[in-house]
Amino acid sequence: MALDDFARRVGELHDRANERSQTARLNAYFPIIEQALYNGLSLASILRELQAEGFTFRITGLKSALYRIRKKRTATAATGSAPGIPPSHAIDTPATDDNARSPVNVPAQTTDGGQTRKGWKTIEQLRAENPTMPKIQLNKLYAQQYDQPKVTSADLEELKRRYPPKPKA
């Protein structure tokens, strides 16, 4: 069968990693690198380990390659057209490389019952409602929820009623 032959030959090409570009090989290491960066490892120490594996990147080339890989993965995740190829390394990674350190992951303020305040949405809810909206606009939408005062005049009056001012002596 020609199809089986083709699949075998392509599999053999994948096994011969030295024939693939460095960026293509780096893509296989990407989840591990992201996890290491998230855990606080320096890019220089990661670069040393990659050079021991046969990569010839310099620090600027590594940064550029990681940027391109992140950009490609974000684009495929946003469009939903990810290929049906399983990842080569299964690893617990943070939600995304950028989101782990950005203020986007701040949970919405909650009331006493732990419920999100009426009318306020979490960043995940906003992202689900606006899947094509850029991250910066999602951040703005999220921040605009907090421009209304938390304490209304009725709340202030209730506090005054509950806790009357002490008489001055």
Residue range 74-130, pLDDT digits in tens: 887 777 655 545 454 444 444 444 444 444 444 444 544 444 556 678 888 888 888
Domain count, the chain: 2
- DSSP line for 13-28: HHH-GGGS-HHHHHHH
pLDDT (tens digit, 9 = 90+) per residue, 138-152? 888 888 877 766 778
Q: Which of 79, 113, 140 is the last residue of a domain?
A: 79
Helices (H) and strands (E) in the chain, counts: 7, 0
The predicted model scores a pTM of: 0.40
Same domain, 68 and 107: no
Q: Which domain range does residue 128 map to?
A: 103-162
